[in-house]
Structure 1
């Protein structure tokens, strides 16, 4: 069981890195003055960008919301970003490699810390977890939008679900069982929030001590 959990964690983490690469080409230009060229923020904007394009393709153009479609859009983002800025893309990565590696370690620490916390009570049993889990299940199973409501059979979800859609987009790439993916999602959101805070404060203060605090 523990080996399966470690495998899921690694797959989820590496998938997150792919989404970072998907967003880095654009983010590094917008946040050029950031010490990390906005690499940590690329994790957020890459996932957000791929999810928005996938949502538009499915909701507006009725393209099936499948794992293959998500992977295609993800790879398209990475390919376009690399081809359009090939020289600068790899140059920025090499130039800031040590700093980016340090941020990845920090991100991994935040991610691991929340996983340890969630491992104490991994059950989906209180507050809005039932509803969140139901929406995630509905989105994961559907190929069309809006998704079917798993509680109110025959009807679509009458709720703002784009945040859940973003996480499901990642889940459709990893194919991790949703009961496990749910806790990975929670840990990932925490790590993204904490790491983004570090990156922004560092850019504003140029102080690593202030950024950590």
Structure 2
């Protein structure tokens, strides 16, 4: 994992930039929220940049520069101009928000995102493979990596189908497109971007759960409880495996314990039914 630290932090920096890029917009839309939309800023930025770049790709603008940068640059510039106008219009409200403790809230969100992001990447560093083998947390991961790689390699939208030559992909792929865009911008290869995307998905979940808890209780304790309930304590089958997990950790270490822990059953399978 250490050799990938530059990729990890460059990826994190790109996500943070996307969040602050659209903060004036989410601030305006979240005026009634205690955090003024800070909790959804990163996801909003990623989605808006991806949507804008995809639309520009369909229109053909900037095609001469290639998919990797031209549509993204145009989208970022448009969002920057629009949010600059919003920031001037709501400058006093934004300044007051940060003077009254908004900067502490921003630091809390960044800490929550960073801890969740690095924690999940640490976990994935033990089992980084994308495989069909459920024992190694596979299932759809191989197909997800294939989709991500196709989006990373292809200049057009929709991308070419990796399964069927000379046909476009007939599958939902917007979330994959977000990570493919980040990978191209940050210079990250798909096999690394795949795990960074998984870590980011978990970190965004934690951040938005923290935001929801804060909005409902306006207390850090309430926000932390929301994170625990939403991101960690959901599946009952996860908790039923904890005693066996702790025993395995004591006997043979964390690596073997995680290998024998079933993440598939709590999240995707109901006994005697079709999965999912």
Question: Could you tell me the TM-score, scaled by structure 2's length?
Answer: 0.71
Q: Which segments of structure 1 move beyond 4 Å, counting only runs of 4 or more?
A: none
1:91 maps to what in 2? Answer: 95
How far residue 150 of structure 1 moved from its aligned partner, in angstroms, is 1.9
How far residue 68 of structure 1 moved from its aligned partner, in angstroms, is 3.4
How many angstroms apart in 2 are the aligned matches of 1:53 and 1:111?
A: 26
- After superposition, the C-alpha distances for 1:113-150 in whole angstroms (9 at most, x for unaligned) are 11111111011112111111111111111121111112
2:22 maps to what in 1? Answer: 23
Q: Find the residue that maps to 1:85 and give its secondary structure.
A: helix
- After superposition, the C-alpha distances for 1:20-63 in whole angstroms (9 at most, x for unaligned) are 0222111111112333221120101111111111111212x134
How far residue 175 of structure 1 moved from its aligned partner, in angstroms, is 1.4
1:112 maps to what in 2? Answer: 118
Q: Find the residue that maps to 2:214 and give its secondary structure.
A: helix
Choose the corresponding residue for 1:72, options 65, 68, 74: 74
Corresponding pairs, count: 211
* Gaps in structure 1 of 5+ consecutive residues: none
2:161 matches 1:149: yes
2:214–2:222 contact (8 Å) kept in structure 1:
yes
Q: Find the residue that maps to 2:22 and give its secondary structure.
A: helix
How far residue 97 of structure 1 moved from its aligned partner, in angstroms, is 1.4
2:150–2:160 contact (8 Å) kept in structure 1:
yes
Choose the corresponding residue for 1:81, options 70, 80, 83: 83
Choose the corresponding residue for 2:219, options 202, 207, 210: 207
* Gaps in structure 2 of 5+ consecutive residues: 132-137, 226-276
- Structure with greater contact order relative to length (CA < 8 Å, sep ≥ 6): 1
Question: Could you tell me the TM-score, scaled by structure 1's length?
Answer: 0.91
- After superposition, the C-alpha distances for 1:172-197 in whole angstroms (9 at most, x for unaligned) are 21111111111000000000011101
How many angstroms apart in 1 are the aligned matches of 2:117 and 2:203?
A: 5
Q: CA RMSD in A?
A: 1.9
Structure 1 residues 5 and 138: alpha-carbon distance in aligned structure 2, compared to 1, 3 A threshold: same
How many angstroms apart in 1 are the aligned matches of 2:27 and 2:170?
A: 37
Q: Find the residue that maps to 1:145 and give its secondary structure.
A: coil
How many angstroms apart in 2 are the aligned matches of 1:118 and 1:103?
A: 22
